[in-house]
Amino acid sequence: MAAEEKKKILLADDNIVNQKLATLLLQQLGLQVDVVDSGKAAVQAVQDCSYDVILMDCQMPEMDGFEATKAIRRFESLGNRYTPIIAVTALAMVGDKERCIAVGMDDYISKPIDRQVLNIKLNHWLQKEFVLRNQELARKYSSQGAHADNDPINLPELREFYGDDLSDVLETYITSTESYITAIKQAIIDRDDVLLAQLAHELKGSSASVGAKQLAKLALYLERAAGLRDWKETRDTCEALVNAFSSARVFLEKSPSSSNEVVILPIRD
């Protein structure tokens, strides 16, 4: 696909791991991607540039995806432009899809993003045929061995979805998770249930995106415990989270992140 023929996508998501993974998927589909990390920045980007589709995270700082969508629709009502907006959300409650549609979004996709679902949504809204490479990738990586159920991160699945070289994504995930855990510990000390729930929600999303299912599950439990202000449960869950993260780091230190490379991730105190 020639550069001038590429469709242009705006990706609005404040989670850096999700940004990198979604960008990889979109670029593999032959799309040009601009990334912003807040709803406010998404509104400004739409005012400055035309996009073919917007992928809008629902929970972001400054202005969430719902408010950003309403602001974009107000701006577009002043002219002849209309940009399809696909909600990207980890929310899973009854009525969430209806809420997205009600504020002016056109469609809905759940996190972690499924490659085939994303392809179908984009194919519909861009009215353009995209080439699915899932079967090709599955054949390519079938020789690398099956994923063990107790592996902290499902690397074969990640490679199937996102391609060979995962070093940048995984290093970003490790660094960001370290920061989340530090902030989570402090939020528990401060008994800041609102911040704790927000941090746990972000960690849940990035962990699910890289296939760290146990970490994502513990982050979900932590988010729920914060909502209940159950501080004993938050401390116990945080301890389990730290242990699970330590296992994930050791696993990644020993695992190839690409076909010809091993990521060395130092184990920190």
pLDDT per position as a tens digit, 217-243:
899 889 989 998 999 989 999 999 998
Write the DSSP assignment of 130-165 as a string of letters. ----HHHHHHHHGGG-PPPTT-SS-HHHHHHHH-S-
Supply 202's token pair. Answer: 């972000």
pLDDT of residue 138: 34
Domains in the chain: ranges and CATH = 3-134 (3.40.50.2300), 147-262 (1.20.120.160)
- The whole-number average pLDDT for the span 34-45 is 94
Q: Nearest to residue 24, comparing CAs of 14, 33, 15?
A: 33
- CB-based contact 10:34 (threshold 8 Å): yes
Q: Strand ranges (DSSP E) for the chain?
A: 8-12, 32-36, 53-57, 85-89, 107-110, 256-258, 261-262
Contacts of 221 (CB under 8 A, 6+ apart): 233, 237
Q: Place 188 in a pLDDT band, splitting at 50, 70 and 90.
A: very high
The size of the chain, in residues, is 269
pLDDT per position as a tens digit, 79-126:
767 899 999 887 655 566 777 888 889 888 888 888 888 888 888 888
Q: Nearest to residue 180, comparing CAs of 242, 90, 112?
A: 242
Q: Is the pLDDT of residue 142 over 60?
A: no
Q: Is the pLDDT of residue 173 over 50?
A: yes
Average pLDDT of the chain? 80
